[in-house]
C-alpha cells in the first residue's frame, strides 16, 4: 500500500511539472509581444517597460520559469492585471461557487447514474431499459447550455421554483438555503455526465453478470437481489469508480459554459472573463490549480480502487 | 435420489441442445457423464441446477429429487425445500470465485443460506478441513488470487458442500488443473462421496478419469445419451459404436502405430443433427435403417443399454 501510494504520487508530480511547463509556455505562444497584446496598441513605452519588468519578461526563459514555479509553490500565482489583486485572491472568490457546484453535480451524477444504471441492467432488454437508454442518449448528446436554458425556461421562468441566475455565498444572508441557486446549474451540468455513468454502470453490470463467479453465487442459493448487490455491483463499480476521475475533468471544462449561462460567480466564469480581458496571470493560475485538483482527485480514485480491488497491488 | 426424466434444453426460438436425456443417481454413487465438447454435457448439468443461461430454457422433461419436482426451480427457490439438495463445482476454478471477497466470506455466505441458525465461521472451517485445505485459518483470510488452482477448486467444493448436498455435480472439475493436482481432487471427490453417502454426477471428456472414478457411465453424443452402463462392462464390451470409437482413440502405449486413432468427421452442431441415428454419418457400421426413423434401444446384461441398430459385442446382448 505504501509503495503503491508513493509510485502514484511520484507519477502525479511528474505530470504536474510537465503541465506547469506547458502552462508557463502558453503566454509565450501568443503571436507578437504578450505585453502589447495585454495592454493594447495605445500603451506608452513606460507602461510597457513597467509591465515587462513586473512580469519578469526581461529575464531568460528558464529563469522566468524557475521564478514563476518557485512563487507558485509558495502560493503566489502573481498579480491579476485587470483586478490588480493577487491571482490567488481572484481564485478564492470563485472557489466557493465552483466547489459547491462540482460537489452537488457529483451527487446528482452518483444518485442518478449508478442506481438507474443498475435498474437498466437488471431489466435488460425490457421497455424500462430501452426507455432509460434512450433518455441517456438524449441527455448525453444535448449540449449543457441548451439543457441549462431549458431548465431556466421551465423551472425558473415558468414554474418559479428555483432562481435562474447568480449565487450569493452560503455565508451570507439565507445561509444554506442559498444552495437553491445551484440546483438548476448543477442539474444541467450533471445531465450529460450522469448519462455516461448510467451507460457505464449498465454495461459494467452486464459484463460482470456473465462472470463465472456470479453463477457460483447463484448456485449457492443466494437470493437474486443479494447476488446483484454483493457479487455483481461490487465488481461492476470498479470500472465506474475509475470513471469518476474523468467525469471530474469533464465537469471542469463544462462548468465554464454552465457558470456563464447561469451567471454564477465561479472560477469557470472568471476564466472566460479573464480570456476576454487578456488577464494571463489569472488564466495561468486557474489552469494550474485545476491541474492540481485533477491530479489529487485521480490519485484519490486510484487509492480507493486499491481498497475496492484486492488484486491491484500485484499488478 | 435424483431422477432426471427425458429433459430437453432448447435455445429460445431455436434448436434443441439437449434432446431427451434421462438418468438417475443413487446416494453414494458416481455417474460419469462422458462426451465431446459441445455434446450438451454442461447444459444438462446447468439445467439440473436451474442455472441455464438466459438464452436457453428447459423445454420438456422433469427433474425430481426424493420425489419432489424441482424441474423449473432456481437454486434460491430450492433452499427451503424439504428434499435433498444439489450443488455444483464448475470447470474453471480460476474464475469461479469472486475476486474481491475473502475465501471465508464466500464460504460463510453459502453456510448462512442453508444453515441460518449455525455460527458460519466454525462451519466454514469445518468445510475447509473436509476438503483437506491445510492451514485453514490463513486460507480463510486469503483472496482467491492468492490461491493455486487446486486450492481454489477445493474451496469451490467446500462451498458446494455447505448445503449438505445429496447430489454433487462436478463439471470437468479437474480439466483446468495440473495432472498431479487432478489426481488429488479426484481422490477427494471419491472420498467425500463415500464418506457423506453423496451421489456425484461427474462430467468429463476424459475416459481415463471415468474408468478410475465412476461407478456407472452415461455416454452423450449430439445432445442424446447413446449408451448407459456400469463402468466395468462398458470398458470390457461397449455396445454403441461411438463408445467403441472413443475407446479406440485412447492412446495405447504398446501399439507401434505412430498415428493416434481418431473418429473421422466432426460432431453435428445443434440444429444440424441428421435424422435417424445422430452418429450415423461417422459410423463405420451404419446401414440404411440408421439414416432415418427412431433408433431402437439395445439391451445388454446388467442394465447396459445403447441406442443402436447394430450394436458392437453382440455376445453380451440380453
Give the DSSP letter string of A164-220: -S----TTSTTGGGGGGGGHHHHHHHHHHHHHHHHHHHHHHHHHHHTSHHHHHHHHT
3-class SS string, A145-168: HHHHHHHHHHHHHHCCCCCCCCCC
Q: Which chain A residues contact residue B42 at CB under 8 A?
A: none
Choose the closest CB to B113 out of A211, A221, A309. Answer: A221
Instruction: Read off the pLDDT of residues B115-160 as tens digits, 9 standing for 90 and up.
Output: 888 898 999 999 999 899 888 889 999 999 999 988 999 999 999 9
Chain B nearest CA to A210, separation (Å): 9
Count the residues in chain A.
Answer: 315
Chain pair A-B, CB pairs under 8 angstroms: 71
Instruction: Read off the pLDDT of residues A41-92 as tens digits, 9 standing for 90 and up.
Output: 777 888 888 877 777 777 788 888 888 888 888 888 887 777 888 888 888 8
Q: Please answer whether residues A205 and A118 qualify as being in contact, where contact means their C-beta atoms are separated by less than 8 angstroms.
A: yes
Question: Which domains are seen in chain A, by residue range?
Answer: 2-73 (no CATH), 91-309 (1.10.3720.10)
Q: With bands split at pLDDT 50, 70 and 90, how would you rate the model's confidence at A307?
A: confident
Q: Which residue has the higher pLDDT, B64 or A36?
A: B64
Cell of B81: 425445500
Number of C-alpha atoms within 13 angstroms, CB side, residue B184? 15
Instruction: Answer yes or no: do A220 and B143 touch at CB < 8 A.
Output: no
Instruction: Answer yes or no: do A212 and B95 touch at CB < 8 A.
Output: yes
pLDDT number for residue A315: 46
Q: With bands split at pLDDT 50, 70 and 90, how would you rate the model's confidence at B175?
A: confident
**Is the per-residue pLDDT at B199 higher than 50?**
yes
Query: How many Å apart are CA B132 and CA B141, to the nearest integer?
Result: 16
Strands B167-171 and B56-65: unpaired
The neighbouring-strand residues paired with A164 are none
Best mutation target, B100, B123, B164, to test chain A (most A CBs within 10 A): B100
Instruction: Answer yes or no: do B51 and A311 touch at CB < 8 A.
Output: no
Instruction: Tell whether B79 is within 8 A of chain A (Cβ).
Output: yes
Query: How many Å apart are CA A271 and CA A286, to the nearest integer?
Result: 7
Q: Which chain B residues contact residue A213 at CB under 8 A?
A: 95-99
Best mutation target, A204, A211, A216, A229, to test chain B (most B CBs within 10 A): A216
Lowest mean pLDDT among A139-148, A224-233, B271-280: A139-148
Chain B residues 134-173 with CB within 8 Å of chain A: 143, 145, 156, 159-160, 162-163
pLDDT above 70 covers a percentage of chain A that reads 94
Instruction: Read off the pLDDT of residues B267-317 as tens digits, 9 standing for 90 and up.
Output: 888 888 888 999 999 998 889 999 988 899 999 888 899 999 999 887 777
- The DSSP call for residue B197 is T
Q: Which chain A residues contact residue B99 at CB under 8 A?
A: 213, 235, 309-311
Instruction: Answer yes or no: do B100 and A219 touch at CB < 8 A.
Output: no
Residue with cell 463405420: B284
Ordered alpha helix ranges (H), A42-182: 45-54, 61-73, 87-108, 114-122, 127-141, 144-151
Q: Which residues lie closer than 8 Å to A205 by C-beta, 6 or more apart?
A: A117, A118, A121, A122, A228, A232, A233, A236
Q: Which residues lie closer than 8 Å to B234 by C-beta, 6 or more apart?
A: B217, B227, B243, B304
pLDDT number for residue A32: 63
Amino acid at each position: 500500500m505504501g509503495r503503491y501510494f508513493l509510485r502514484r504520487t511520484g507519477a502525479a508530480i511528474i505530470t504536474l511539472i510537465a503541465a506547469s511547463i506547458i502552462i508557463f509556455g502558453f503566454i509565450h505562444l501568443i503571436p507578437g509581444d504578450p505585453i502589447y497584446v495585454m495592454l493594447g496598441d495605445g500603451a506608452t513605452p513606460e507602461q510597457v517597460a513597467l509591465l515587462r519588468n513586473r512580469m519578469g519578461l526581461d529575464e531568460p526563459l528558464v529563469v522566468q520559469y524557475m521564478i514563476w514555479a518557485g512563487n507558485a509553490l509558495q502560493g503566489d500565482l502573481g498579480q491579476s492585471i485587470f483586478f490588480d489583486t493577487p491571482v490567488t485572491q481572484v481564485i478564492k472568490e470563485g472557489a466557493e461557487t465552483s466547489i459547491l457546484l462540482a460537489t452537488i453535480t457529483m451527487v446528482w451524477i452518483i444518485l442518478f447514474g449508478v442506481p438507474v444504471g443498475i435498474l437498466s441492467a437488471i431489466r435488460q432488454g425490457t421497455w424500462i431499459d430501452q426507455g432509460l437508454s434512450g433518455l441517456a442518449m438524449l441527455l448525453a448528446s444535448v449540449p449543457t447550455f441548451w439543457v441549462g436554458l431549458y431548465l431556466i425556461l421551465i423551472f425558473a421562468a415558468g414554474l418559479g421554483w428555483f432562481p435562474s441566475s447568480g449565487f450569493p455565498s452560503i455565508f451570507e444572508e439565507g445561509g444554506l438555503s442559498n444552495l437553491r441557486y445551484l440546483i438548476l446549474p448543477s442539474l444541467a451540468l450533471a445531465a450529460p455526465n450522469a448519462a455516461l455513468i448510467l451507460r457505464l454502470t449498465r454495461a459494467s453490470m452486464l459484463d460482470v453478470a456473465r462472470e463465472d463467479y456470479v453463477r457460483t453465487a447463484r448456485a449457492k442459493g443466494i437470493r437474486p437481489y443479494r447476488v446483484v448487490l454483493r457479487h455483481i455491483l461490487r465488481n461492476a463499480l470498479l470500472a465506474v469508480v475509475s470513471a469518476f476521475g474523468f467525469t471530474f475533468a469533464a465537469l471542469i471544462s463544462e462548468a465554464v459554459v454552465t457558470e456563464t449561462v447561469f451567471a454564477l460567480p465561479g472560477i469557470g466564469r472568471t476564466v472566460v472573463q479573464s480570456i476576454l480581458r487578456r488577464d494571463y496571470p489569472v488564466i495561468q493560475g486557474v489552469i494550474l490549480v485545476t491541474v492540481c485538483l485533477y491530479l489529487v482527485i485521480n490519485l484519490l480514485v486510484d487509492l480507493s480502487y486499491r481498497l475496492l480491488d484486492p488484486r491491484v497491488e500485484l499488478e | 435420489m435424483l431422477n432426471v426424466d427425458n429433459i430437453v434444453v432448447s435455445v429460445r426460438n431455436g434448436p434443441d441442445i439437449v434432446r431427451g436425456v434421462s438418468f438417475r443417481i443413487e446416494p453414494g454413487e458416481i455417474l460419469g457423464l462422458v462426451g465431446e465438447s459441445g455434446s450438451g454435457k454442461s447444459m444438462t448439468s446447468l439445467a439440473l441446477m436451474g442455472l441455464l443461461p438466459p438464452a436457453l430454457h428447459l423445454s420438456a422433461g422433469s427433474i425430481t429429487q426424493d420425489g419432489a419436482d424441482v424441474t423449473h426451480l432456481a437454486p434460491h427457490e430450492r433452499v427451503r425445500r424439504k428434499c435433498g439438495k444439489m450443488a455444483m463445482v464448475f470447470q474453471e476454478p480460476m474464475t469461479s470465485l469472486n475476486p474481491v471477497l475473502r475465501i471465508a466470506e464466500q464460504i460463510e455466505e453459502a453456510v448462512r443460506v442453508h444453515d441460518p441458525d449455525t455460527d458460519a465461521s466454525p462451519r466454514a472451517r469445518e468445510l475447509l478441513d473436509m476438503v483437506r485445505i491445510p492451514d485453514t485459518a490463513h486460507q480463510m483470510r486469503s483472496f482467491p488470487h492468492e490461491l493455486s488452482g487446486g486450492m481454489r477448486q477445493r474451496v469451490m467444493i467446500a462451498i458446494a458442500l455447505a448445503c449438505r448436498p445429496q447430489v454433487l455435480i462436478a463439471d470437468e472439475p479437474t480439466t483446468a488443473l495440473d495432472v498431479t493436482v487432478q489426481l488429488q481432487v479426484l481422490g477427494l471427490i471419491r472420498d467425500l462421496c463415500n464418506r457423506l453417502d453423496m451421489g456425484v454426477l461427474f462430467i468429463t471428456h476424459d475416459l481415463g478419469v471415468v474408468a478410475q472414478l465412476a461407478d456407472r457411465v452415461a455416454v452423450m453424443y449430439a445432445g442424446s445419451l447413446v449408451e448407459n452402463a456400469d463402468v466395468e462392462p462398458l470398458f470390457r464390451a461397449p455396445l454403441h459404436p461411438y463408445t467403441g470409437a472413443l475407446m479406440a482413440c485412447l492412446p495405447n502405449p504398446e501399439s507401434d502405430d505412430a498415428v493416434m486413432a481418431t473418429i473421422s468427421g466432426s460432431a453435428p452442431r445443434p440444429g444440424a443433427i441428421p435424422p435417424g441415428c445422430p452418429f450415423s454419418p461417422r459410423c463405420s457400421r451404419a446401414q440404411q435403417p440408421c439414416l432415418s426413423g427412431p433408433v431402437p434401444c439395445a439391451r445388454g446384461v446388467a442394465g447396459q443399454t445403447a441406442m443402436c441398430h447394430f450394436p458392437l459385442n453382440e455376445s453380451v446382448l440380453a
